[in-house]
Amino acid sequence: MFESLDPSLINWSRLQFAMTAMYHWIFVPLTLGITMIIAIMETIYYRTGLEKWKKTTKFWMKLFGINFSVGIATGLILEFEFGTNWSNYSWLVGDIFGAPLAIEGIVAFFLETTFIGVMFFGWNKVSKGFHLAASWLTWLGATLSAWWILVANAWMQYPTGMNFNPDTMRNEMTNFAAIALSPVAVNKFLHTVLSGWIVAAVFVVGISCWYLIRGKEKDFAIRSLKIATVIGLFASLCSLWSGDGSAYQVARTQPMKLAAMEGLYNGRHNCGLIGVGILKPSDKLIGSKQDPFVCKIEIPSLLSLLANRSANSFVPGVNDIISGGYKQADGSMAMSVADKIASGKTAMSALGAYRAARKAQLQADASLAKHVFNANVGNMGYGYLKSPEQAVPNVPLTFYSFHLMIILGCYFILFFIITTVVAFQYDFTRKRWLQFVALGSIPLAYIAGMTGWMVAEVGRQPWCIQDMLPCNAAISKVDVGAVQTSFFIFVTIFTVLLIAAIGIMVKAIKKGPQIEPEV
């Protein structure tokens, strides 16, 4: 189907897409969360009629507008890269992957951008009720955009609702509901949106504390952080539940990713959860029975409980998944990666034989080849791997990213418990140490989100689509120099945009909240 390409082209294409996605994700979570905070503030203004709440709403709306405008630019480039850098991927699964992206662009994105116009330019031009509705619909549009984008990503993690057509050489959708409502998509959406709420809440609390540190706009700051702390506390507690659901789905659908997340090379019953640990060099651990950790703090049996809802259950490690022979969640015995590679190559050979027989109008031969192909098509993606070791992702990067995300998640639960109690029970203006902590927590919120995506995407490697299409069969056949050149061009452009966005935000923050002339 696809010829083997230069490994440097694969690496540079992955690096360019990862860079674009990470720049884009700087702007997305704030949009997901701050639109809701703005809508809540405007709801209070609508009910009370107090100008101070209108001033508060318009200030945070201004920062949202700066963030949103730059986020659009990075997001558009990200979608174009599916065609420029990953054309084989787009050809093979475009009928499926394109559907949620099309819905996101046609319905959710236009809903969001339409009502953003009313939010910014509709003050005193439409009724208060309509303007309030526009603010809530902007939040809804942003959330729906996230839903369809995450449905597309979740399908890459857990492909379902489709069949491969050997005549068209494409995967074709058979069940849209299975794609749109898969448990992986639902959990990914909830966890991602909640993380966006956390980022926005930390952002609002941190900026509000900057005013308190400077001794400016104290009433505005207290109003803002009270709303943000409540939302942040709710989101951080709920993220425990959504994170548990996501990990449970990973255990069911991506056991190799789970093993990498926990640095688990040799599976066992009553498997413990690593709280903190330092891994030994990973290239010496595949096929070895040695302890992969230099040191670790482990919670006994917790990983078995979280992964399988049974503290005594078996959790496979990297070596078990490579070797196969263990009982899976559905009761079947796991195939070894070597057997899957052999099965995948059989599927490819049968596919070629089927197409040749069809072209020669040899119906009996075509029927036999199709029967062999259908029996092995589930492993066809493995046929592109040269060795079982290629099925192992970057374990250290996945492990450390996952545990840093967990540590920061626990930190934010504690952070919001403290800030919420202080905001409603004590005088926040006197807690100077907490003000500095809140301001310094803003970058930590973004780091937590980035590490979560690193776990999701690096832990899936080498697959572009889990168990179906590895990256080496998904990329475009282009000159590696072109990818390198565009990579550095995009890095420069995105960095300039990021610096400009931060500069404009800082200028707006220094200027402070105020009632501006209506337009």
Predicted local distance difference test score (pLDDT) of residue 1:
45
> Which of 323, 349, 375 is the C-terminal boundary of a domain?
323
> Which of 345, 364, 384 is the C-terminal boundary of a domain?
384
The enclosing H or E element of 111 equals helix 110-121
Note whether 276 and 351 are same-domain residues: no
Predicted local distance difference test score (pLDDT) of residue 10:
87
The larger pLDDT score, comparing residue 220 to residue 69, is at 220
pTM comes to 0.91
Convert the pLDDT of each residue in 163-200 to its tens digit: 998 888 888 899 999 999 999 999 999 999 999 999 99
> Which of 363, 384, 405 is the C-terminal boundary of a domain?
384
Torsion of the alpha carbons at 34, 40, 41 and 47, rounded to the nearest 10: 170
| Mean of all residue pLDDT scores within the chain | 90
Note whether 285 and 367 are same-domain residues: no
Inside any domain, residue 155: yes
Note whether 353 and 314 are same-domain residues: no
Q: How far is CA 429 from CA 30, 61, 215, 484, in A?
A: 25, 24, 9, 50
Q: What percent of the chain has pLDDT over 70?
A: 98
Predicted local distance difference test score (pLDDT) of residue 2:
45
Cα–Cα dist 188/22, whole Å: 17
Closest CA to 308 of 327, 289, 335: 327
Note whether 153 and 265 are same-domain residues: no
Cα–Cα dist 262/268, whole Å: 13
What is the DSSP secondary-structure string of 67-97? HHHHHHHHHHHHHHHHHHT-HHHHHHHHHHH
Note whether 281 and 374 are same-domain residues: no
Note whether 498 and 369 are same-domain residues: no
Inside any domain, residue 294: yes
Q: How far is CA 143 from CA 30, 132, 140, 151, 205, in A?
A: 12, 17, 5, 12, 22
Q: Is the pLDDT of residue 4 over 80?
A: no
Inside any domain, residue 456: no
CA-based diameter of the chain, in Å? 85
Q: In the predicted model, what is the mean pLDDT of residues 487-510?
A: 92
Closest CA to 292 of 307, 274, 315: 274
Cα–Cα dist 285/320, whole Å: 12
Cα–Cα dist 153/93, whole Å: 12
Inside any domain, residue 441: no
Note whether 133 and 264 are same-domain residues: no
Convert the pLDDT of each residue in 217-231 to its tens digit: 899 999 999 999 999
Convert the pLDDT of each residue in 412-457 to its tens digit: 999 999 999 999 998 898 899 999 999 999 999 999 999 999 999 9
Closest CA to 314 of 323, 302, 327: 327
Which one-letter amino acid corresponds to residue 425? Q
For 295, the domain range is 260-323
Note whether 374 and 306 are same-domain residues: no
What is the DSSP secondary-structure string of 308-367? HS-TT-EE--HHHHHH--SB-TTSPBPPPHHHHHHHHHHHHHHHHHHHHHHHTT-HHHHH
Q: In the predicted model, what is the mean pLDDT of residues 114-135?
A: 90
Predicted local distance difference test score (pLDDT) of residue 516:
55
Inside any domain, residue 435: no
What is the total count of domains within the chain? 3
Note whether 37 and 147 are same-domain residues: yes
Note whether 42 and 128 are same-domain residues: yes
Inside any domain, residue 467: no
H helix runs in 426-466, sequence order: 432-440, 442-458
Cα–Cα dist 469/90, whole Å: 11
Q: How far is CA 105 from CA 22, 99, 109, 134, in A?
A: 20, 10, 5, 19
Note whether 152 and 95 are same-domain residues: yes
Note whether 25 and 74 are same-domain residues: yes
What is the DSSP secondary-structure string of 42-59? HHHHHHH--HHHHHHHHH
Which residues, at least 6 apart from 425, have a Cβ–Cβ distance to it below 8 Å?
none
